[in-house]
Structure 1
Amino acid sequence: MAPVIFITGGGRSGKSRLAERISGGFGAPLGYLATGTAGDGEMAERIARHRQRRGDDWTTIEEPLDLAGVLRENDGRFSAILVDCVTLWLTNLLLACDDPARCVARVKELTSLFPQLTTPLVLVSNEVGMGIVPENRLARQFRDLAGEANEMIAAAAGEVYVTFSGLPLRLK
């Protein structure tokens, strides 16, 4: 089994930079599996900044829904694959199917793939459970789904980090 490293934390906490640094330690070529889509100009600018920061050692693969399938297809192609981010993937899944149980099944599919991978995998996810209970149903479903998914991925990963203010703390 290749190393599986999970990194979580709040928004703008340094998760992606840590994930890029850890992934880079495996050497080039590197795969970047992007789950976000450029739905507006601001998001397109974010994506462009991230691509520029990563540089030429990285190949970007954009996939908003079929994370496990794309990982299977690209296993062995790169020195490491970074998934950024799990929470955007969960958002895409929840909006596509509106059934949290089906989304959890997709997370199980993802984690069941971990022991089969030959390529090191680094996954980034937001910690969304440290705030208040959201006021609407969809937001509560998402918060609960993200919390459950993070637990499942953290349990299946070999290493787990949380970042605060750009500082990583190794949990596992």
Structure 2
Amino acid sequence: MLILLTGASNSGKSRFAETIASRFSGPRIYAATMVPCGAEGAARVDRHRRQRAGQGFVTAECPRGLDGISAGTDALVLLEDVSNLLANEMFGRGRPDAEDEALRQIVSLAGRAAVVIAVTIGGVSGEGCDAATKNYAAALAHLNERLAAAADAVIEMRGGAPRLLKGECPWIG
């Protein structure tokens, strides 16, 4: 099952994804894609580590791709997050097919695990940014659309509350 969890920055996506994961009875893997840059990035990583402490996650640091994650068919993978994975493929690896590659990796991971919760930022416009950032924002919007089409369930966080936009999620409620 692929669950796409979207919303604005700081909308509670990560905490809600962890709530869903806590209701899952099998093994839990936290797929961390962020490459921390500077003090702000390090603080974000630290906050997320403290937030999920004691929740039974095994952390897989995977900023350079998801293919190395060996999730069993009984495992849940919380992918934190799609926007970082795409940025790492676009800027870190310089892949012209970064969007396709990120989609391939996420769909492949969903085929190897019982559940993948893919957390992503929605509504990024790139307005007022340089060309590279505009291209990234457009690629993320398109990738999010493609993931929503492929997902079994799509949940949007708005005002701190989840809204189920597509499908069903047995761990909500």
What range is the shorter-chain TM-score in?
Answer: 0.7 to 0.9
Q: 1:110 maps to which residue? A: 105
1:111 Cα shift?
4.8
1:34 aligns with 2:32: yes
1:104 partner amino acid: E
Q: Note if contact 1:33-1:61 (Cα within 8 Å) is conserved in structure 2.
A: yes
| Counterpart in the other structure of 1:60 | 59
Residues 114 and 156, structure 1, Cα contact 8 Å, conserved in 2: no
Going from structure 1 to structure 2, the CA distance change for 1:80 and 1:111 (only over 3 Å counts) comes to closer
Distance 2:62 2:110 in 1: 22
2:114 is matched with which residue?
A: 119
Deviations along 1:112-137, one digit per CA (max 9) or x if unpaired, are: 426633421111000134x4633421
Structure 1 partner of 2:86: 90
1:18 alignment partner, one of 1, 11, 16: 16
| Runs of 4+ residues over 2 Å off in structure 1 | 96-99, 114-119, 131-135
TM-score in terms of structure 2 length: 0.85
Count of residue pairs brought into register by the alignment: 165
CA distance in 2 between counterparts of 1:138 and 1:132 reads: 9
Percent identity of equivalent pairs: 27
Instruction: Decide whether aligned partners of structure 1 residues 83 and 155 sit closer, same or farther in structure 2, where only a CA change above 3 A counts.
Output: same
Unaligned runs of 5+ in 2: 167-173
Sort the Cα spacing of 1:96 and 1:49 in 2 relative to 1 into closer, same or farther, 3 A. Answer: closer
How far 1:55 moved relative to its partner? 1.7
1:89 positional shift: 1.0
Give distance in 2, aligned partners of 1:47 and 1:21: 18
What is the CA-CA distance between 1:104 and the residue it aligns to?
Answer: 2.1
Between the aligned partners of 1:132 and 1:42, the Cα distance in structure 2 is 21
Looking at structure 2, the residues matched to 111 and 83 of structure 1 have their Cα atoms a distance apart, in angstroms, of 9
Aligned partners of 1:138, 1:43: CA distance in 2, in Å? 20
Match for residue 156 of structure 1? 150
TM-score (norm 1): 0.86
Q: Which amino acid letter does the alignment assign opposite residue 165 of structure 2? A: L
RMSD, matched Cα: 2.0
Higher helix proportion (structure 1 or 2): 1
8 Å Cα contact 1:32-1:83 kept in structure 2? yes
